[in-house]
Structure 1
């Protein structure tokens, strides 16, 4: 069994869907299906039960999933140790968002425990660059939010967060249990500078051009609402100051938390970070 094939299998087993797994692996579905069939032939057992709605793991598949994760983790550790021995054990991570996110904290703890010899340098990015410096080579990997232009990047979704409208607590709409974007028509929004990624701007501006104060950081967004009574969007999991509230917008698609790196980046530190991040975000907060 090749490590590459095991990575394919783990992706399908975690997504429970060949199409989603293929998208995650940045490949087409037919070669992925062929690789899994060849793996089943190699191990002499059916690993996945296929249906029109997706796939389920057989007992043999569940057993292989545990072993495959362990083998891939060992391989990644070996690559990282070699990189450390070669004096290249520095990883620069771009972060956009809430540093108190329990998943991000778990990721930092796990990565440090597994790779104590790796120096992790963190670059805090503002809201004008959702790739956190990835395109300009300032970071090796980004832990950020979408949507943004993914051209030339490998992007893996870790979680999705519903969003709401952030308002002053004394705003007439603040007492509502939910809102539609139409309820915010004609209001001034905080907005991002010209030149910011168009997909990113469109999402956080509610899909329409907006007028209002230009902001670059989360605190600037909140202050714009507090001082000017403007509105904007915020993930529901974030707690604003006491003078502000976030009212759910159920019709808005959720904001994805993603990990991204340059396509073709063979840095073993990036690969190891990616695997640890996927495991950290699979784990529930209560575990």
Structure 2
């Protein structure tokens, strides 16, 4: 029974959906199904009930889930201790400097409990680089938002946040309960500099080319709205000045909070960080 097989099983058992588990593991569904069937055959017991209504755990599957989590946690601790002994017990984490992600506090506490000897260095970046220096080799991991070009990266989704139009509070549209992108078609938007990741730029501009002031940081976005009456997109739930409002956008996909790392980086602490982050943001 390999650790990789156990990781596959845990993903299916936690998602209770082969498609979502396959996406989480960055693989296609058929080989994942084959691995689980082979595991059931090796153990001589069904682990999952499969039906049109979905997937549920059998009593044997629930037991294996508890044991598998314990084994995987233990394996991560072993790898982390070896990494520490080798003098690699430092991780640099890039974060967008928006101060809005409360899940990061839970992640920090959970990681500190699991790896008390590992030093975490935080590198805050502006909104022009969604990978927070990952591609440039400035950080080991990025705790950020998607979408962006994921080529060569492992990306793990932690949470999705609905988004809305960021407006001045006295804007006539701010009195609406909900808006559509078409309601903002004739408005000036804040936008990011040329050369910013196209997927990232397109998402925050609602999928259309926009005209308006160029910004690099969250506070510049806020000031662009306050001073110029421009509009933009922001996750719901941000702490904003009283002069601003965020109105939900009915036709915008939610913003994905993710953790990303380079595929080629074999540092075991990176995999541990990703697993702890997934659990911390789920709680």
Question: Shorter-chain TM-score: what band?
Answer: over 0.9
Instruction: Tell me the distance in 2 between the aligned counterparts of 1:96 and 1:255.
Output: 14
Q: Which residue of 2 aligns with 1:118?
A: 118
More deviation in 40-49 or 194-203?
Answer: 40-49
Answer whether contact 1:18 1:54 (CA < 8 A) is retained: no
Give the TM-score normalised by the residue count of structure 1: 0.95
SS in structure 2 of the partner of residue 154 of structure 1: strand
Structural mapping, 1:255-270, within 5 Å: 255-270=255-270
Deviations 1:200-221 (A, max 9, x none): 1111001110010000011110
Structural mapping, 1:33-52, within 5 Å: 33-52=33-52
Q: Which residue of 2 aligns with 1:216?
A: 216
Answer whether contact 1:156 1:260 (CA < 8 A) is retained: yes
1:193 aligns with 2:193: yes
Q: Which residue of 1 aligns with 2:7?
A: 7
1:161 aligns with 2:161: yes
Instruction: Tell me the distance in 1 between the aligned counterparts of 2:178 and 2:19.
Output: 33
Instruction: Tell me the distance in 2 between the aligned counterparts of 1:54 and 1:266.
Output: 35
SS in structure 2 of the partner of residue 272 of structure 1: helix
SS in structure 2 of the partner of residue 174 of structure 1: helix
Shift of 1:20: 2.1
Deviations 1:249-270 (A, max 9, x none): 0211111111111113210110
Instruction: Tell me the distance in 2 between the aligned counterparts of 1:22 and 1:77.
Output: 25
Answer whether contact 1:162 1:250 (CA < 8 A) is retained: no
1:245 aligns with 2:237: no
Give the TM-score normalised by the residue count of structure 2: 0.96
Q: CA RMSD in A?
A: 1.3
Q: Which residue of 1 aligns with 2:32?
A: 32
Distance 1:98 1:65, change over 3 A: farther
Shift of 1:168: 0.6
Deviations 1:165-192 (A, max 9, x none): 0111111111111111111111110000
Structural mapping, 1:94-173, within 5 Å: 94-96=94-96, 98-173=98-173
Q: Which residue of 1 aligns with 2:282?
A: 282
1:206 aligns with 2:206: yes
Instruction: Tell me the distance in 2 between the aligned counterparts of 1:168 and 1:282.
Output: 33
What runs of 5+ residues in structure 1 fail to find an aligned partner?
Answer: none
Q: How many residues align?
A: 283
